Copies of this chain bind each other. A is one copy, B any other.
């Protein structure tokens, strides 16, 4: 079934410090701001923060497995990191279809992460291709 403008998907998630440590190993991004409590305590964040590029994998998860889902191919993504995302706290990801480019099977999606008080953490838009749903 084709998606329509205004369709959206919303999901809560928690990224644990253990997941951040695993991501640091897997990606090679061992910036101490993410994995070293002492280092992070001396920064303006006071404690370790999640890698920006790890937090946004929540968009990939939603778009690749739920909305539009399996078969999605990511074409582009803009990301603006507005506020830090901390390990072990709950956030939610919000993905909304805002435009369709029919002949290319492209959907332009608003992609955002908020904390549980609705403060924006990551803002952005992504373009995804899906041959049957877009």
Binding site for B on A (CB under 8 A): 19, 22-23, 26-34, 43, 51-54, 56-61, 64-65, 70-81
Chain B residues near A43 (CB, 8 Å)?
71
Pick the contact of A81 from B58, B65, B74 — CB < 8 Å? Answer: B74
Pick the contact of A53 from B19, B30, B59 — CB < 8 Å? Answer: B59
Check if A77 sits within 8 Å of B79, measured CB to CB: yes
Q: How far is the CA of A65 from the CA of B56 in the complex (A)?
A: 19
Pick the contact of A29 from B30, B34, B51, B57 — CB < 8 Å? Answer: B57
A-B contact pairs, 12 of them (CB 8 A): A22-B26, A27-B61, A29-B57, A29-B60, A29-B64, A31-B60, A31-B70, A31-B72, A33-B71, A33-B72, A43-B71, A52-B74
